[in-house]
Structure 1
Amino acid sequence: MKRFIRLTINTVTWGLAALPLLVSAQEIDYNQLQIATLIEEEKRPYQEVVVLPYKEPLKSSWALAIDNDIFALGGRDQDYTYGFNFTYSGRKAQELWFSLDKPLSALDYLFGVDDQSEQNIDNHSIEVGLFGFTPEDISVAAANPEDRPYASLIYWSNSREQMDLNSNVSWKTTLTVGALGLNLVGEFQNTIHDKLNGNEAVGWDNQISEGGELTARYAIARQQYLGNLFGNMEVKSTLQASVGYLTEASWSLSFRDGKYHTPWSSFNPELASYGEKSTYNTSSRAIREHYFWAGMAVKARAYNVFLQGQFRDSPVTYDHNELNPIVFEAWLGYTIAFAEGYRLSYVLRGHSSEIKQGAGDRNLMWGGIILAKTFD
């Protein structure tokens, strides 16, 4: 509709310009100003017309993310070594029989973030995935207490976003449940390595919670749109806290610049935690875009199950006082989106060392590729 309006205005404008005998110079100047205004609007984010109370589409989008340290182009095969996740967004994510939306809503109510105002926009998503960690030398079968342990997680989660249009604030909550220590993650890694003639990771029997152990996490994030810098660079800040297998609080700044039209709240790279939440975009609008994005975060981490273990004994674990309580993270990425609804992203991420000393005292870095599809 917006394109039709622009086409109509431009047609009238050029029609008037072709009739100089009937149009004054002042009117021509006005039409030229109008064209310039339309061109300038094309650079700005798309402002979708929202009818309140808002009714979420049955299906909004899907996204597949693949993380691997080899995508960091450094020949690495250690630390956060790989991850896969699939995310589905829309009202159906709330209604599926295996959805965690009901317990998530109960937790949101308990923590006072369950705002049922008709002035809010509510969106939902469901995600399934897995990811794993390895020490630096994966050719050694014995446990190495000087390096980080093998660790893995297979999970599913539900997320809920509540967007306040008046204050430009978005609350996003997530409930994740999963299993630590299942053999599937290591077997999958070695299958891929075998296909690519890579080294076999032979120490997965020493992973955290070997044999399987249930775990969970609840996270709350408050995102605030801060405005634009240098004309078109979108800026937002995020405060996040979580309790569970990652217990931490964080603050981040994220930036986006280029030709983007999707709402600021639909793009969330700052919410990623290793393989979880790394699909980033839950837009419900198919539109052509291309933009760079970046950000930085500081995290105060109280507990990390992938290093400290959970209830079961594991060959290699770290005490809290052996870990750095503050972690600095940064990311840089690029996204291209097509009018047909597909979008492709690449991201380079990393963070400072989690372990204070020993062979495991090193910075982490990995890359990711995200393929997504928005439904009309």
Structure 2
Amino acid sequence: MSLFSFNQSVRAGAALLAPALLACGAVHAQAPGPQQETVHFGTYENDSFFDTDRFYTNGVQLSIKRSRDQRGEFARTLARRACAWLDCDDSILLTSQTNYGQLMYTPGNITIAAAQPEDRPWAGLLYVEHAYALLSADQRTLTTLGAQVGVTGPAALAEEAQKLIHKTLDRPAPQGWHNQVGGSLAVMASAERRTALEGLSVELPGDVQLNTAGYWRLAAGNTMTYAAGGLAIVVGKDLPAVSPPPPGIANKLARDAFGPTACMLRWLQCTGFGVIESRLMGRNIFLDGRLFHHDPKVKRRNFVIDLMVGMRLDFPDTRTASHGPWFVQFKITRRSREFRSSIPVPRHRMAAITLGTEF
């Protein structure tokens, strides 16, 4: 696709989102309120929204984002050394974020107790990660540095979590967790650089903006090793030049807000977004198993594409003296086939809901 054709497609997509942002015409000013320095939000991601129970089937994450710089000297030194390579020496710390979460992967049929060597392996991850987001002096480039550590295997508690949920909801009991990828310490470091693209960003009627950013991400570790690149489109009002990735699990290195926006009603603010991301995979413990072990595994595809669309809704009138406004975000992801097999391997869809506030 040519750049001109892509630009035309971007504008056409914006035309579909713009009416929701313009429905009430004038924007009502919000009274200033206390500014909290910490944001808490939780994300629940599952494929059951699309009536499936397979592959990447469940993820939960609690995130804590802070705007105050509380880094110690060791963290500052690591950031300086990384920025010497990533050209972010002039950047200032925008946020630091800590995530606690669990990921769960299963084959297509969870009621089979026997090993399923042609299907995706059973696997779980329990993790904690920390990330720093650094904004350039011209506010057009966002660099994010992150590190994750966790455990796989029985210690990840994926079996207990899925069995409890299925029992509570009266759904079929999973039978094959004894075949899961074994226990190990799982580590991963990552760096992402996101830059505003002026040529693909436009002003729309009614003070609505369409901002486009290009980004790349590198991750290395025994959990995953990959290189990714993508385009992110954000539609809203009063947007920053480069919008951080929306909160959630698929993009863990995330900030919580795009900026003040308005649509439809005085008490409702909204922002729409769309992302296309391609990844060149070098390693994925959930498909390849552990290094130097005889874990269940399948033939991994080296090239994976994600298409994501979503909307975030903020409720400014819910701000109080003790906490900031509440927000809710909805996101849908469509992922290309991740592995090859003699049995049919469908594309995968999952949806996520994120809820949070500042306090």
Provide the TM-score with structure 1 as the length reference: 0.74
Structure 2 residue aligned with 1:142: 114
Q: How many residues align?
A: 309
Q: Superposed, which structure 2 residues align to 1:152-301 within 5 Å?
A: 152-166=124-138, 168-183=140-155, 184-209=157-182, 212-227=183-198, 228-229=201-202, 231=204, 232-244=209-221, 245-258=223-236, 260-261=237-238, 263=240, 265=242, 267-269=244-246, 275=249, 277-278=251-252, 280-283=254-257, 289-301=269-281
- CA distance change for structure 1 residues 84 and 373 in 2, over 3 Å: closer, same or farther? same
Is the 8 Å Cα contact of residues 144 and 253 (structure 2) preserved in structure 1? no
Letter in 2 for 1:226: L
- CA distance change for structure 1 residues 276 and 328 in 2, over 3 Å: closer, same or farther? closer
**Alignment partner of 2:335 out of 351, 363, 371:** 351
- CA distance change for structure 1 residues 104 and 294 in 2, over 3 Å: closer, same or farther? farther
Is the 8 Å Cα contact of residues 139 and 202 (structure 1) preserved in structure 2? yes
Please report how far the alpha carbon of residue 233 of structure 1 lies from its aligned counterpart in structure 2 after TM superposition.
1.4
1:80 maps onto 2:56 in alignment: yes
Letter in 2 for 1:159: A
Structure 2 residue aligned with 1:332: 309
1:374 maps onto 2:346 in alignment: no
Structure 2 residue aligned with 1:304: 284
1:60 maps onto 2:38 in alignment: yes
Letter in 2 for 1:156: V
Please report how far the alpha carbon of residue 246 of structure 1 lies from its aligned counterpart in structure 2 after TM superposition.
1.2
* Contiguous gaps of at least 5 residues in structure 2: 1-23, 262-267, 320-324
Secondary structure of 2:52 counterpart: coil
Structure-1 separation of matches of 2:81 and 2:45: 33
Structure-1 separation of matches of 2:125 and 2:76: 20
Is the 8 Å Cα contact of residues 332 and 348 (structure 1) preserved in structure 2? yes
- CA distance change for structure 1 residues 279 and 42 in 2, over 3 Å: closer, same or farther? farther
Is the 8 Å Cα contact of residues 355 and 362 (structure 1) preserved in structure 2? no
Letter in 2 for 1:179: V
Please report how far the alpha carbon of residue 104 of structure 1 lies from its aligned counterpart in structure 2 after TM superposition.
8.4
Letter in 2 for 1:191: L
Secondary structure of 1:63 counterpart: strand
Whichever of the two has the greater Rg, that structure is 1
Q: Provide Cα deviations, 1:23-63, integer angstroms capped at 9, x if missing partner.
A: xxxxxxxxxxxxxxxx99969xx9xxxxxxxxxx9833111
Letter in 2 for 1:336: L
Please report how far the alpha carbon of residue 79 of structure 1 lies from its aligned counterpart in structure 2 after TM superposition.
0.5
Letter in 1 for 2:170: N
Please report how far the alpha carbon of residue 66 of structure 1 lies from its aligned counterpart in structure 2 after TM superposition.
0.3
- CA distance change for structure 1 residues 67 and 314 in 2, over 3 Å: closer, same or farther? farther
- CA distance change for structure 1 residues 189 and 69 in 2, over 3 Å: closer, same or farther? same
Letter in 2 for 1:85: Q
- CA distance change for structure 1 residues 104 and 349 in 2, over 3 Å: closer, same or farther? farther
Structure-1 separation of matches of 2:287 and 2:80: 28
CA-atom RMSD, angstroms? 3.1
Please report how far the alpha carbon of residue 283 of structure 1 lies from its aligned counterpart in structure 2 after TM superposition.
3.4
Q: Provide Cα deviations, 1:99-118, integer angstroms capped at 9, x if missing partner.
A: 9x94685276257348554x
Q: Provide Cα deviations, 1:182-229, integer angstroms capped at 9, x if missing partner.
A: 3511111110110101111111111111xx210100111010111423
Secondary structure of 2:341 counterpart: coil
* Contiguous gaps of at least 5 residues in structure 1: 1-38, 47-56
Please report how far the alpha carbon of residue 286 of structure 1 lies from its aligned counterpart in structure 2 after TM superposition.
7.6
- Identical aligned residues as a percent: 20
Secondary structure of 1:145 counterpart: coil
1:323 maps onto 2:300 in alignment: yes
Structure-2 separation of matches of 1:145 and 1:201: 17
Structure-2 separation of matches of 1:42 and 1:353: 43
- CA distance change for structure 1 residues 115 and 229 in 2, over 3 Å: closer, same or farther? closer
Secondary structure of 1:248 counterpart: strand
Is the 8 Å Cα contact of residues 60 and 284 (structure 1) preserved in structure 2? no
